[in-house]
Amino acid sequence: MKEIRIGLVGAGWMGKAHSSALLDAQMLFGPDYGVAVFEMVADSNEASAKEAQHKIGFKRMTTDWKEVVSDPDVDLVDIATPNSFHYEVAKEALNNGKHVYCEKPLSISAEQSAELAELAAEKNVVNYVGYNNTMNPANAYVKDLVETGKLGKIMKFTGTYDQDQLLDESLPITWRHVNKLAGCGALGDLGCHLLSVSQFIMGDIQQVNAMTSTIFPKRPKAAGSSEMADVENEDIVTFMAKYANGAAGTISASRVATGRKNRLAYEIQGTQGTVCYDLERMGEVQVYFHNDNEADRGFRTVLLNPHHKGYSAFQPAGGISIAYNDMKILEVHELFAAITQGAEYACNFEFGYKIDRTVDAVLESAKTNTWVHIE
Amino acid sequence: MKEIRIGLVGAGWMGKAHSSALLDAQMLFGPDYGVAVFEMVADSNEASAKEAQHKIGFKRMTTDWKEVVSDPDVDLVDIATPNSFHYEVAKEALNNGKHVYCEKPLSISAEQSAELAELAAEKNVVNYVGYNNTMNPANAYVKDLVETGKLGKIMKFTGTYDQDQLLDESLPITWRHVNKLAGCGALGDLGCHLLSVSQFIMGDIQQVNAMTSTIFPKRPKAAGSSEMADVENEDIVTFMAKYANGAAGTISASRVATGRKNRLAYEIQGTQGTVCYDLERMGEVQVYFHNDNEADRGFRTVLLNPHHKGYSAFQPAGGISIAYNDMKILEVHELFAAITQGAEYACNFEFGYKIDRTVDAVLESAKTNTWVHIE
Amino acid sequence: MKEIRIGLVGAGWMGKAHSSALLDAQMLFGPDYGVAVFEMVADSNEASAKEAQHKIGFKRMTTDWKEVVSDPDVDLVDIATPNSFHYEVAKEALNNGKHVYCEKPLSISAEQSAELAELAAEKNVVNYVGYNNTMNPANAYVKDLVETGKLGKIMKFTGTYDQDQLLDESLPITWRHVNKLAGCGALGDLGCHLLSVSQFIMGDIQQVNAMTSTIFPKRPKAAGSSEMADVENEDIVTFMAKYANGAAGTISASRVATGRKNRLAYEIQGTQGTVCYDLERMGEVQVYFHNDNEADRGFRTVLLNPHHKGYSAFQPAGGISIAYNDMKILEVHELFAAITQGAEYACNFEFGYKIDRTVDAVLESAKTNTWVHIE
Amino acid sequence: MKEIRIGLVGAGWMGKAHSSALLDAQMLFGPDYGVAVFEMVADSNEASAKEAQHKIGFKRMTTDWKEVVSDPDVDLVDIATPNSFHYEVAKEALNNGKHVYCEKPLSISAEQSAELAELAAEKNVVNYVGYNNTMNPANAYVKDLVETGKLGKIMKFTGTYDQDQLLDESLPITWRHVNKLAGCGALGDLGCHLLSVSQFIMGDIQQVNAMTSTIFPKRPKAAGSSEMADVENEDIVTFMAKYANGAAGTISASRVATGRKNRLAYEIQGTQGTVCYDLERMGEVQVYFHNDNEADRGFRTVLLNPHHKGYSAFQPAGGISIAYNDMKILEVHELFAAITQGAEYACNFEFGYKIDRTVDAVLESAKTNTWVHIE
C-alpha cells in the first residue's frame, strides 16, 4: 500500500470534486492502487483554503500555491485553479519533480501547453490532464470498435457539444465571456470536451476550417444591471476537419443550443459499420454492422455493461445507470494506477497539448476564414 | 389475363377504399393476377350507390344487395357494409358460390362467424377477411422470426392497440357505442386488429381473463346536445391470455388512451430473442438476438426493406416510408392471387372466426370475472 | 449536529452499500441531517463481521445480532440480512425502541409484515423500508404529475420489470429459486420494486388476478453439475389489478426477458395526459399533455433536472446522468432527516406491508385462478 | 372542370411516377383542380415510348421530343428525361409558351438554370421543379414554425442526407459517377434534396465552404468486371454555410453512409425553440419550446396529423403512416392548382436555380478550398 501525498492548488468546486473522487475510487478499487493523503491545500482566498482543509481533511493549508508545489511532502500536485493559472502552476510543479494532475484544459494557449508537454516528457513524472469524458465506458467501447477495425476504414466523424445554459440573454457577463480568462467561448468550454473524445478515438486532426457566431454580443455587467458589457467570444463554433487517418470531420459546439442540456453527441461512419453516441443518453451506444444479415440489420442500442471498460467498477450487470461523475472516479483511479503501478494512460500533457493546438487552429481559422494546418 | 367481376355491397368509405386499392394493386403487380371489372354496386342509399357507380365506374348499381350476390356476372362479392350486415350478405354470397371478400370483422358474433367459416369451407371459393395489418411487411417479418425459431421458444406476448380519438367527452354517441351495431367497444374496433396480428404470428389463444372499463359512461345524444345517452360498451379492455404454443399473453385496447394516435404495439419474448413493433413507427422493427456478441448486443432498429415480404412492391430500397393504406393494396393483391392462381392466404373465414371467438370469450370473461376457455 | 449510532445487522454486500450511501449522503447534504456513527456490526459469519468492522470502521462487532438490537448505544438498527430474517430482527429492534431501517422487502409474508407495521406504529420510532426506486427523481416527478391532477383522472397503469439475468438455463439453483428463502420468484425479486413505484404513485391495489410461468423448471444443483433441482417459483408473473383510485392495471415481471437488462418500465394514462418511464433510460421521462396545441402536441422527452425532487443533490443542471446507486443515497438522507428532523417519508413499514400483501394476493390468485381481493 | 393536356418527355421510371401521381391526385382532390389528359409521350427509345403510351394511355407517341414541346394540343410539358437534357427541353417548351413541369434538378449547371428561370419569368406560364420533399407535411410544419417565429431568431441549421446504397465497392460505374451526365456526386443526387428543404424553410444561402471525399475512387466498368473506371465525383460532401437570415449552417451528404438508408435529417436551432426531423421516421417531428414550463420541458415527438399541411389528403387522423410517394401526389396537385387556379407554389424555376447555384458554389469551394460567395 503506497501513500500518495496530495497538494491541491485551488479549493473551489473542482478541487472538492477531485478529492471526493479520490475517496470514492479508493472505496471501489481498494488500497492497492495507492492511498490518498490530503497533505496540503492552497487557495489565494484564505477562507476557501480553510474550508477545504476542514471539509476534506488536509493536514495543512496555505494561500501561496508556491508552497504546495515545492513542499517535500507533496507527491502529486493537483491543479484545480481557474484555467488561466494552470500553466504557471504546472510548470513549477514539474520543475520540482512532482507528479502533476491538471484539470482540463492544460492551459489557455497551444504555446504554453506545448512547453508543458515538453517539460513533462523530460521529467520522469506522471502528467495527467483531466479530460474525464475519455473515461466514459461508452467512449472506451467506441474506441475499441474503431481500433479493432470492426467499423472498417473510418470515413467521417460528425460531432457536437450543445448546451443551452447561456441561452437566457439576461444572464450577466462572467469569466467565460472574457478571453483573458477563458481563452475562448463555447469552443473552450464545451468543444474541448468533444475534442478530447475525438482525439482519444480518432487521433490527430491535421487541418481545420471554422466559423463562429456570437448570438448575444452584449450581456449585463451584473445580474439585473442595465449596463452592458461586450461578450468577447463565440456562443457557437462550427468547423470542418481533416483527420490524419483520412476521415472528414464536422464538429461544432454551442452554449445557446435551445433544448440541449448535455448533448455531447457524435457519429463515426466507417466502411464496415457506424456508431453513434449522445451523452444525454449516457448509458447507450448505437452501433450498426454492415455485415449483419440484411433482413435483420439495423442500429443496435447497446446498453453499457461489464464488457465495456470501466463499467464493472460500478455495476455487476448491464443496463444500470452510472453517473456522469463516475467518469471522474475512473480518471483518478487511472491517475493513481499510473503513479503506483506505472500503468498507461491516454490523457498526458502531450494529449492536452493536442487539444489546445486544435483549439488555437480553429480560432485562427475563424479569424482568417481559411483552412489552417496543424503542425 | 383473367377478369374478375366485382359486386360491391356497401358504397361508403370502405367500399371506395377497396376499389381504389384494387386499381393500385393492378398498377403495381400488373394484370397477371387478374383484372378487376367493376360490375355492380349495391347500397340501400340510392344516392350513395349512384355516386359510387359514377366515381369508381361500376357498370350497374342497385339498392338491393341481393341482386349483387345472385348476379351471374359477379365473380367476387366485396362486402363493405356496416359490421352487423356482414353475416347475412356473406352467407348468401357463399350459398350462391361466389368468392367472398369481407371487410373485418367477419361478423359481430362468434356463432355467426363459425357458421360462415364452415359454409365457406364447404364451397370451393375464396373466402377472405380484410385484416389488413397481417399484410404489414413488419408483421410478416416478425412472423418469420417466430416461425423460423430465431427467437427460440416463445415465452410472452404483450400487446396493446391504443388511440385517443374518443377521449373528448363532448363527442356524441355513435354506432360504435351501441352493441347491437358494434358488438362491443374498443375490443372490436381496435382490439381485433391486434388480435389478427396475434393470431397471424402467435396462433391460437386457449384461455382469456379480462376486465373492461368505461371511462365515459354517458355521451351527448348528438353534438352539442345536453341530453345524454348510455355508452353500452368498453372504452378500455385488458386481458391475460394463454396461447396454445405455451406463451403467456397480456393484451389491451383503448379508445381513450391520451396521446396515443395509432399505437398498435407489441413485444414478443422468446428464449433466443425478443422483437417489438409499434405501428406509430410503421417503418421499423426492434429485434434483439441473445446470441449476438455480448459487448455489441442490443435491440436492433431494423428499417423495413425489400427483404421483408410486401415491401418491394412499393420501394426498391430500405428505409423509405410506405403508407398504412399500402397494406390494403397488398391485401387485395393477395385476394386476387388466391382467386386467379390458387395462392395461399392466411385471413380466410376460419381465421376471421378465430378472432371473433376470442372476442366473445374476452367479453364473457369480463362479465363473469373468470378465466374463459376457448373451444 | 446530531450523532446517529448505527447497528448494522448483516455485513454482506447490501450492508456495505448502506454504509457507503450514508457517507455519501453526509458529503452531499452536510451534518445538519445527522452524522452517522458506525457503532456495531453483526454477522453470523465472524470473518464477514470483522471485515465490515475494519472496512467501514465500526467500533464493535459481534456474531449475535441480538446484541446489536439491544445495545443501549445503538440508535438505529440497519437490517441488511437475507430476506427471511428481516421479520425477526425488525421485531426485536422495535421492541427495544430502536429506529429501524430495513432493506426491502419488509418480510417474506404479508402476515409478518402486518405485525411489524402494527408494532412500528405503536412505538414512537422511525420505521423505514429501503424501496430505493421511490427516491428516483423521475418517479417523484411522475407522482407529482399524478397528484397535482396534471394527468386528469387516472385510467390505466401498465408496468413491467424485466431482466434477462436468469435466461441462461445452465445457471444453477440459488436461494432465489427456493421459496423458503425467497418467498417467490420474479415477483419478489423484481416485481416488488415495480409495486413500490406503483404504491408510491398510484396508491392501493384492491384486487388482482394473476398467472405465472416457469420457463426453466429445473436447474443444475451447482454450476456445471448434471444433477438437477426443482425451481420452486415463477420466472414470469403477469397480473391485472384494480386500483382504489378506479384505474385498471396490468403488471408483470420476468427474470428471463431476453434483451431486457433493467427495464422497470411503466405507463400511466390519465384523461388529461399520459406519462411513461423506463429505468433503462433513467434520465428521461416521457409525458404528453392533452391540452397542448394540437399541431405541436406530442410526447415530451423530459430530461431530469433540478426541478425534479432529489436531482439537484447531484447536479446543478439538467441532462446529466445520475446513477442508480444515487437513489440509495437519497434514501438514507430521507431516513436521517426523519430521525433528526421528523421529516415525512413514504416508505414506512405500513408501506412495506402494502407491497407484501399485494405480493401474497398475486401468488394466491395465480394458484386459485381467480380474482383476489386485498383487505 | 378544366382539362390539362400533358406532353411527357421521357418515358422511364420517373415519367411513369409522374403520371401515376397525377391519377392519384385526381382521386384524392377531385376534378376541380384540373383533369389530366395524357396527350403525347416522347422517348428516344421507341419501345419505351410505346410501352408508356400503352400503359399510361397516352393518345400519341413520338421519338422526337421537339414534337411534344411544339404540339398545339399540349398544355403542360412534363420533363422526366435524364438530368442533362432538362435544360434543352425546358427552354424550348418555355419558348413555345407551354407550362413546364421539370423533374429535379432544373439543370446540371447554375448558368443554364439561371437562363431558364429568367425565361420562365418572362413568359406567363407555370414553371415548376419537382422537389418533392418540400411537399412533406413535416417540412411544411417546420417551415411554419420558423416563419411564425415560434422558434425565435434562427441560429443554426444542421443537415445531412445519408444513404449507403453505393457502399458496396463491387458495384460498377453508372451515370451517377460521370460528371458529364450527373454534374456531381452525392451533392447532386442527395444533397440537392436537402438543399431544397433548406431553401424552402431557411431561405437563401450566401456563402459556402466545402470539402469532398471519394471513398471508392475506382469502380468496375461493369458488374463483375475486373477492369476499373474512375469515379469522377464525390461520395461524401460536407460544407459550412452562411444564411441570409444570419444563421450558420452545416450540411453534408453521403452515398456511402453505412447503415443509413434514407436519412435526410436536420436540426434547426432558434432562440425560442429547436426542431429536428429525420426522413427515416417520416411520420414524426421533434420540437422543443423554450417557454414550456421548466419541469415539463423536453423535445416533443409530434406525430404528423391533419394540422400539418398536406396530411389530411391521406388520413383523417394523426399517427397513421403516409408514404414517401405521397409527396409526389401533393406536388402534382400543387402544380395543377397553379395551372387551373393560379395558386401559389414555392418550387418555381427561380427556386430550382437557387439550388443549382448553391451546388455550383459548393463544388467551386471544394476545388478552391475557400469560402465562395453566392451572387
pLDDT digits (tens, 9 = 90+) for A227-261: 999 999 999 999 999 999 999 999 999 999 999 99
**How far is C-alpha B369 from the geometric centre of its chain's CA atoms?**
27
What ipTM was reported for this prediction? 0.96
Residue whose entry in the numeric block shows the C-alpha cell 433493467 = C262
- Residue B326 sits at the vertex; the CA angle it makes with B323 and B327, to the nearest 5 degrees, is 115
- The values of phi and psi at residue C282, to 5°, are -55, -35
* pLDDT interval class at C375 (50, 70, 90): confident
> D296 and C308 in contact by Cβ < 8 A?
no
Residue whose entry in the numeric block shows the C-alpha cell 495507492 = A34
Q: Does the C135-320+349-373 domain belong in CATH 3.40.640.10?
A: no
Q: Which residues of D touch A250 (CB under 8 A)?
A: 238, 250, 252
Three-state SS at A58:
coil
Q: Which pLDDT score, from 0 to 100, does residue B363 have? A: 97
Q: Which pLDDT score, from 0 to 100, does residue B106 have? A: 97
Spell out the per-residue pLDDT of chain B, length 375, in tens. 699 999 999 999 899 999 999 988 998 898 899 999 999 999 999 999 999 999 899 999 999 999 999 999 999 999 999 999 999 999 999 999 999 999 999 999 999 999 999 999 999 899 999 999 999 999 999 999 999 999 999 999 999 999 999 999 999 999 999 999 999 999 999 999 999 999 999 999 999 999 999 999 999 999 999 999 999 999 999 999 999 999 999 999 999 999 999 999 999 999 999 999 999 999 999 999 999 999 999 999 999 999 999 999 999 999 999 999 999 999 999 999 999 999 999 999 999 999 999 999 999 999 999 999 997
- Residue C194 sits at the vertex; the CA angle it makes with C190 and C196, to the nearest 5 degrees, is 115
| C293 → chain D, closest CA residue | D307
> A211 and D242 in contact by Cβ < 8 A?
yes
For residue B295, give the nearest of A292, A298, A308 by CB distance. Answer: A308
As a whole number of angstroms, the distance between CA D58 and CA D60 comes to 6
pLDDT digits (tens, 9 = 90+) for A139-177: 999 999 999 999 999 999 999 999 999 999 999 999 999
As a whole number of angstroms, the distance between CA A85 and CA A77 comes to 14
Three-state SS at C219:
strand
Are C54 and C43 contacting, i.e. CB atoms less than 8 angstroms apart?
Answer: no
The neighbour count for residue B169, using CB atoms within 10 Å, is: 12
Extract the C-alpha cell encoding C309: 425532487
pLDDT at residue C123 above 90?
A: yes
| C261 → chain B, closest CA residue | B298
Q: Which chains share 3+ C-beta pairs under 8 angstroms with C?
A: A, B, D
CA distances from A20 to A17, A55, A58, A375, B31 (A): 5, 10, 13, 38, 76
| C317 → chain D, closest CA residue | D294
> B262 and D323 in contact by Cβ < 8 A?
no
Taking all residues of chain C, what is their mean pLDDT, rounded to a whole number?
Answer: 96
Rg over alpha carbons for chain B, rounded to the nearest Å, is 21
Taking all residues of chain B, what is their mean pLDDT, rounded to a whole number?
Answer: 96
Question: Which of C321, C328, C329 would best serve as a mutation to test chain A binding (most A beta carbons within 10 A)?
Answer: C321
Q: Which residues of D touch B314 (CB under 8 A)?
A: 323, 325
Q: Which residues of A touch C281 (CB under 8 A)?
A: 281, 283-284
> C295 and D302 in contact by Cβ < 8 A?
yes
pLDDT digits (tens, 9 = 90+) for A171-195: 999 999 999 999 999 999 999 999 9
| A311 → chain C, closest CA residue | C323
> B318 and D262 in contact by Cβ < 8 A?
yes
Residue B324 forms contact with D (CB below 8 Å) = yes
Q: Which pLDDT score, from 0 to 100, does residue D159 have? A: 98
Q: Which residues of C touch A322 (CB under 8 A)?
A: 321, 323-324
Of chain A residues 132-161, which have a CB less than 8 A from chain B? Answer: 141
Q: Which residues of D touch A213 (CB under 8 A)?
A: 155-156, 248
pLDDT digits (tens, 9 = 90+) for C164-214: 999 999 999 999 999 999 999 999 999 999 999 999 999 999 999 999 999
> C321 and A260 in contact by Cβ < 8 A?
no
Extract the C-alpha cell encoding D338: 397553379
For residue C321, give the nearest of A305, A318, A322 by CB distance. Answer: A322
Comma-separated ranges of CATH 3.40.50.720 domains in chain C:
3-132
- Report the CATH number of the D3-132 domain: 3.40.50.720
Q: Which pLDDT score, from 0 to 100, does residue B375 have? A: 79
Q: Which pLDDT score, from 0 to 100, does residue A9 have? A: 97
**Neighbouring residues of D305: CB distance < 8 A, sequence distance ≥ 6:** B261, C294, C295, D311, D317, D318, D319
Q: Which chains share 3+ C-beta pairs under 8 angstroms with D?
A: A, B, C
Three-state SS at B204:
coil
Q: Which pLDDT score, from 0 to 100, does residue D30 have? A: 86
pLDDT digits (tens, 9 = 90+) for B25-36: 998 898 899 999
How far is D282 from chain C, CA to nearest CA, in Å?
15
| DSSP secondary structure letters along D247-302 | -EEEEEEES--TT-SSEEEEEEEESSEEEEEEGGGTTEEEEEETTS-GGG--EEEE
Count, residues in chain C: 375
Q: Which pLDDT score, from 0 to 100, does residue B27 have? A: 84
Helix (H) or strand (E) segment spanning residue A153? none
Q: Which residues of B touch C257 (CB under 8 A)?
A: 156, 269, 274
Select from C149, C122, C134, C150 the least CA-distant residue to C287: C150
Q: CA torsion C81→C82→C85→C89, rounded to 10°?
A: 10
Burial class (CB in 10 A: 0-12, 13-18, 19+), D58: buried
Mean pLDDT of D215-232: 96
Q: Which pLDDT score, from 0 to 100, does residue A265 have? A: 98
Select from C320, C316, D333 the least CA-distant residue to A262: C320
Of chain D residues 261-320, which have a CB less than 8 A from chain C? Answer: 284-285, 287, 289, 292, 294-303, 305, 307-308
For residue B271, give the nearest of C162, C167, C370 by CB distance. Answer: C167
| C162 → chain B, closest CA residue | B269
pLDDT at residue C27 above 90?
A: no
Question: Per-residue b/e over C196-225, b at no fewer than 16 CB within 10 Å?
Answer: bbbbbbbbebbbbbbbbbbbbeebbeeeee
- The values of phi and psi at residue C365, to 5°, are -65, -40
Select from C198, C75, C225 the least CA-distant residue to C143: C198
pLDDT top residue among A76 and A31: A76
* pLDDT interval class at C104 (50, 70, 90): very high
Comma-separated ranges of CATH 3.30.360.10 domains in chain B:
135-320+349-373
Select from B336, B310, B360, B108 the least CA-distant residue to B210: B360
Q: Which pLDDT score, from 0 to 100, does residue A375 have? A: 79
Contacts by A220-226, CB closer than 8 A, 24 or more apart: A220/A170, A220/A171, A220/A172, A220/A173, A221/A172, A221/A173, A222/A172, A222/A173, A223/A170, A223/A171, A223/A172, A224/A170, A225/A172
Q: Which residues of B touch C153 (CB under 8 A)?
A: 215
> A141 and B298 in contact by Cβ < 8 A?
no
Q: Which chains share 3+ C-beta pairs under 8 angstroms with B?
A: A, C, D
Residue B168 forms contact with D (CB below 8 Å) = no
**How far is C-alpha B336 from the geometric centre of its chain's CA atoms?**
18
Q: Which residues of D touch A365 (CB under 8 A)?
A: none
Helices (H), B133-178: 137-147
As a whole number of angstroms, the distance between CA B352 and CA B116 comes to 9
| D55 → chain B, closest CA residue | B27
For residue D215, give the nearest of A236, A238, A271 by CB distance. Answer: A271
Q: Which pLDDT score, from 0 to 100, does residue D27 have? A: 85
pLDDT digits (tens, 9 = 90+) for D276-291: 999 999 999 999 999 9
* pLDDT interval class at A27 (50, 70, 90): confident
> C300 and D296 in contact by Cβ < 8 A?
yes
> A289 and B296 in contact by Cβ < 8 A?
yes
| B294 → chain C, closest CA residue | C259
* pLDDT interval class at D177 (50, 70, 90): very high
For residue B261, give the nearest of D282, D314, D318 by CB distance. Answer: D318
Burial class (CB in 10 A: 0-12, 13-18, 19+), B102: buried
For A10: left if phi > 0, alpha if psi spans -120 to 50, otherwise beta; the answer is: left
First to last CA, chain C: 43
Q: Which pLDDT score, from 0 to 100, does residue A208 have? A: 98
